[in-house]
């Protein structure tokens, strides 16, 4: 194989054509997590998320949110997509396919990256793990599974690499919060969890392979809550036993199962973007504060020629609101004269901070920290101030 990919011929589908085809397909059948019966037994309430029936809460959103900040929460993330990229040119392929440089990360490291369309917009934001010299795991958002896999598979043309969607065979369980390491230590002490290296040596955005009850598990120190925590990848058939073990070891420490509602307020406080809200095909990375993720030092990658936003394009900011009324997605952001200068993408009454917070795209002239703005909350203008992200950072 050559070092550079072969370009598709005019008869082959272009990247954007493939994305359009994926978007036009019929909605998939309802999917259930391999832990669905466990959640039903625990009294979970469910919601549809990207075609999956997933727990939205077990008890209360607030209780689960505070548990993660103070102890730990147990999350089922089995709806996420896991895509294996394997082969002698896997690193070079990912450098071409993604906005970041993945070939240079060490074995056992993880890196946040972006999958861009040729027009420079964001197809998905991803976490990439390097498991071995020529073995990578790409984790995509559930709602973008088909689009991400289609784009990667098309971009693999000309590289000595295989791209396989392993999502249906993989479960993902996250434990997030200050007690999470202690819970895993309990399982290690009881000889149920056996990482290949000491857990104490696993730093943030790194991963270890190992076993749980003698079956393979990938243990990553990553997460989406703003807290220390771990994400564990395991075969779907072994997921219920792992969930039960984590729940039993965590119960004396105040660990509770947590649903998507608390995960959303946790990630919002941590200033983490959510695809479909802060990120999308009409968003360029620099607008979302993700310019650092894009390696413009690379000569070629998909989307490079169109990655820069237009002059005057709106940028993502944090807003702290007065009172108790939360701003929601699509609410207008106003300047002092009442003119619309932006739009809210995510908002909630922050359980940790005790006041409403929001993320919004605003005109550059209204983006400086300290700028006084307003949010139109159902006809009432609520005073808001531009603040630095994240809203919350663990001490």
Within this chain, do residues 253 and 358 fall inside the same structural domain, yes or no? Answer: no
Q: Domain with 198 in it: what CATH number?
A: 3.30.1360.120
Judge whether 190 lies within some domain.
Answer: yes
Within this chain, do residues 193 and 335 fall inside the same structural domain, yes or no? Answer: no
Is residue 5 within 8 Å of residue 213, measured between CB atoms? no
Token pair listed for 112: 């946040």
Q: Domain with 332 in it: what CATH number?
A: 2.40.30.110
Within this chain, do residues 176 and 259 fall inside the same structural domain, yes or no? Answer: yes
Q: What's the domain range around 363?
A: 310-387
Judge whether 35 lies within some domain.
Answer: yes
Q: Position of tokens 């727990």?
A: 55
pLDDT at residue number 5 = 29
Within this chain, do residues 55 and 202 fall inside the same structural domain, yes or no? Answer: yes
The rounded distance, in Å, linking the Cα atoms of 51 and 32 is 9
pLDDT at residue number 149 = 98
Which residue, 269, 299, 320, sits at the end of a domain?
269
Within this chain, do residues 193 and 67 fall inside the same structural domain, yes or no? Answer: yes
Q: Report angle CA 322, 326, 337 to the nearest 5 degrees.
A: 55
Judge whether 8 lies within some domain.
Answer: no
Which residue, 269, 297, 319, sits at the end of a domain?
269
pLDDT at residue number 28 = 57
Judge whether 213 lies within some domain.
Answer: yes
**Nearest residue to 367 via CA among 289, 292, 304, 315:** 315
Judge whether 224 lies within some domain.
Answer: yes
Judge whether 129 lies within some domain.
Answer: no
Determine the straight-line distance between the first and last CA of the chain, rounded to whole angstroms: 49
Give per-residue pLDDT as tens, 272-329.
999 999 999 999 999 999 999 999 999 899 999 999 999 999 999 999 999 999 999 9
Within this chain, do residues 177 and 261 fall inside the same structural domain, yes or no? Answer: yes
Q: Position of tokens 């808001």?
A: 384
Judge whether 150 lies within some domain.
Answer: no
pTM (two decimals): 0.92
Which residue, 269, 297, 329, sits at the end of a domain?
269
Within this chain, do residues 256 and 201 fall inside the same structural domain, yes or no? Answer: yes
Within this chain, do residues 54 and 179 fall inside the same structural domain, yes or no? Answer: yes
Which residues in the chain show pLDDT less than 50? 1-25
* Domain total in the chain: 2
Within this chain, do residues 185 and 257 fall inside the same structural domain, yes or no? Answer: yes
Within this chain, do residues 185 and 264 fall inside the same structural domain, yes or no? Answer: yes
The rounded distance, in Å, linking the Cα atoms of 373 and 370 is 9
What is 287-340 written as a DSSP string?
GGT-GGGS-TTSS--TTGGG-SPPTT--EEEEEEESSSPPP-TT-EEE-TTS-E
Within this chain, do residues 192 and 256 fall inside the same structural domain, yes or no? Answer: yes
Within this chain, do residues 233 and 314 fall inside the same structural domain, yes or no? Answer: no
Judge whether 346 lies within some domain.
Answer: yes
């Amino acid at each position: 194989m050559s070092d550079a990919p072969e370009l598709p011929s005019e008869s082959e589908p272009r990247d954007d054509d493939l994305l359009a085809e994926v978007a036009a397909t019929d909605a998939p059948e309802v999917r259930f997590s391999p832990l669905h019966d466990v959640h039903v037994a625990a009294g979970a309430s469910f919601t549809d998320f990207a075609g999956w029936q997933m727990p939205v809460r077990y008890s209360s959103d607030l209780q689960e949110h505070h548990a993660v900040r103070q102890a730990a929460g147990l999350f089922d993330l089995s709806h996420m997509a896991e895509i294996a990229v394997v082969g002698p040119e896997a690193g070079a392929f990912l450098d071409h396919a993604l906005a970041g440089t993945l070939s240079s990360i060490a074995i056992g490291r993880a890196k946040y990256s972006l999958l861009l369309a040729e027009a420079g917009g964001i197809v998905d934001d991803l976490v990439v793990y390097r498991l071995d010299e020529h073995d990578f795991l790409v984790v995509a958002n559930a709602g973008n599974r088909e689009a991400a896999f289609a784009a990667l598979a098309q971009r693999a043309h000309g590289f000595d690499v295989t791209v396989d969607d392993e999502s249906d065979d993989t479960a993902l369980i996250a434990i997030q919060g200050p007690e999470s390491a202690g819970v895993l230590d309990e399982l290690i002490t009881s000889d149920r969890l056996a990482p290949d290296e000491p857990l104490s040596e696993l730093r943030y955005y790194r991963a270890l392979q190992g076993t749980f009850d003698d079956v393979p598990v990938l243990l990553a120190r990553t997460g989406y809550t703003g807290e220390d925590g771990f994400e564990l990848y395991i075969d779907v058939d072994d997921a219920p036993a792992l969930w039960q073990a984590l729940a039993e070891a965590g119960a004396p420490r105040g660990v509770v199962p947590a649903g998507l509602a608390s995960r959303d307020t946790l990630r919002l406080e941590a200033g983490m973007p959510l695809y479909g809200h802060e990120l999308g095909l009409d968003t360029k990375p620099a607008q979302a504060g993700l310019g650092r993720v894009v390696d413009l030092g690379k000569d070629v990658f998909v989307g490079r020629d169109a990655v820069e936003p237009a002059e005057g394009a709106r940028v993502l900011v944090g807003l702290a609101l007065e009172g108790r009324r939360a701003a929601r997605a699509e609410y207008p952001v106003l300047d002092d004269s009442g003119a619309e200068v932006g739009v809210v993408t995510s908002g909630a009454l922050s359980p940790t901070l005790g006041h409403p917070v929001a993320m919004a795209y605003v005109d550059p002239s209204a983006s400086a920290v300290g700028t006084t703005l307003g949010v139109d909350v159902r006809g009432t203008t609520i005073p808001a101030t531009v603040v630095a992200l994240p809203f919350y950072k663990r001490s």
